[in-house]
Amino acid sequence: MSEDRAPDSVWLPKRRLRALKPVWEAQHAGPSDSEALGSWHCEGLVVRATFDRLRAFDTSTGRQRWVWEVPGRDVLSAMAGQVVDGVALVAHWPDTYDGAKSAGVTALDVRSGHELWSAQQNLDELWGGTSGLRHGTVALSRDRAMVATGEGVVALDSRTGRTVWTVPHGPARGARIGAAEDRLVLVTQQADGATVTSVDTADKTVLWQRPVPVDGPIEEVEIAAVDPLLLAVRGEGRRGRNHVLHLDADGRTVAEISEADGTSLLPYGSWCLADRGRQVMRSGDTLIAYLKSPGYDHVGRLAGFSLSTGRHLWTWDDGWGIDALTWHRGCVVALRHHEEVSEGTHVGWRCDTYVLDPADGRKVARRRLRVTADEPYTVHLDGGRILWVDNKSRHGTPPVKAYDWR
């Protein structure tokens, strides 16, 4: 492998034959933890979210720094995609048929886990009734905490919870929001299509509003990124196609990506991958997305596309499946967790970690990790340290563990 193509500061030494052992494993908080729903990596912490709590671990030692219990009989139902200026934002409501009518939106100081404020919102009208997190419900941008409701978007001061402004969005069967810097992006779905709106978070000025530029029926639109603006569109019916749209600062289409060599993109939010936020990623001018695999029983094919032209650049197929995907210092990092079998007998569990050059999809490095049976929910890179967030945490599988790439 051309491992010398990767930055030496990240991937040295060039060869290592033995599997990497964890440098630390976080401890259970008494009983086994529930299935992971989300995570954050910031401020020297990795935060693992389950339906009933958030637990923050020190990235240097694995020691638990704080735990936040979801209040009352509520369940965690939404998380902002990123922490902004030390503020984390979540939504929670009772796990009942009409529980979202009395939802709570809570802001936390991510350094300490202390609540900054909590406000009640009616989020019932846009609730789809499925389990897990409802993505695109809450978002953070500088000093604004924003919530998508059935009637519009409510913006609150991220430090105090004071309502600053509201933007109505009119009748819609679905609404999602995302934010970056001083811009909010709102996507609403109607019976005949979808609309995307860009809003200035300082004073709620609508910068532009356009129909989502897709020819064909639309089942769902999700915001894959705000800067640059990437919309993941899932087509409806046999004539519907899956797209990733790159829109410019004025909402005009820069590139439309839907397939590579005749193979369509994997639908965004597919059940095949635990971490929905890592199904479309960007590294410089390259968009990395999953392609459908034959049989559709695993996801093992990645494709790179130019964000400026939409041109297909490369396809990488590991032959089996990818369990987690991230990027680090301009490189793509893919993990394949699998069972080792010899003559039909279980031997153990193995994880191969591949580093790909986003320009051409070439493997520039590879490592083996010593792992347990559970698959990763997601991974984060902290310098040369791999932070593995377990999908499920039970006996023999810690909630989070760390490996040093060396």
DSSP assignment string, 33-97: P----EEEEETTEEEEE-SSEEEEEETTT--EEEEEEPPTTEEEEEE-SS-BTTEEEEEEEESST
Can you tell me which residue has the tokens 């902004």?
84
| pLDDT score of 54 | 96
* Angstrom distance (rounded) from CA 269 to CA 374: 21
| pLDDT score of 352 | 92
Query: C-alpha distances in angstroms, 64 versus 50, 132, 382?
Result: 15, 24, 17
Using only C-alpha atoms, the chain has a radius of gyration, in whole angstroms, of 21
| pLDDT score of 235 | 83
* Angstrom distance (rounded) from CA 182 to CA 245: 21
Strand partners, 88: 108
| pLDDT score of 217 | 82
Alpha carbon 191 to its chain's center: 27
Residue 153 CB-density burial (10 A; 0-12 exposed, 13-18 middle, 19+ buried): buried
Tell me how long the chain is: 406
For residue 10, give the 3-state DSSP assignment.
helix
One-letter amino acid for residue 89 of the chain: L
| pLDDT score of 3 | 43
* Angstrom distance (rounded) from CA 183 to CA 206: 10
Structure tokens, 9:
């500061």
* Angstrom distance (rounded) from CA 144 to CA 154: 10
* Angstrom distance (rounded) from CA 296 to CA 176: 27
Domains in the chain, ordered, with CATH? 1-36+325-406 (no CATH), 70-211 (2.130.10.10), 216-273+275-322 (2.40.10.480)
Q: Sign of dihedral through CA atoms 211, 213, 214, 215?
A: positive
| pLDDT score of 2 | 40
Q: Are 371 and 398 in contact (CB under 8 A)?
A: no
Tens of pLDDT along the chain (406 residues) come to: 344 454 555 455 455 558 899 999 999 876 667 889 999 999 999 999 999 999 999 999 999 999 999 999 999 999 999 999 999 999 999 988 888 899 999 999 999 999 999 999 999 876 554 557 899 999 999 899 999 998 999 999 999 999 999 999 988 888 999 999 999 999 999 887 899 999 999 999 999 999 999 887 888 899 999 999 999 998 887 777 889 999 999 999 999 999 998 888 887 777 677 887 788 889 889 999 998 877 655 678 899 999 999 999 999 987 678 889 998 888 999 999 888 777 778 878 889 999 999 999 999 889 999 998 888 999 999 988 999 999 988 777 899 999 998 7
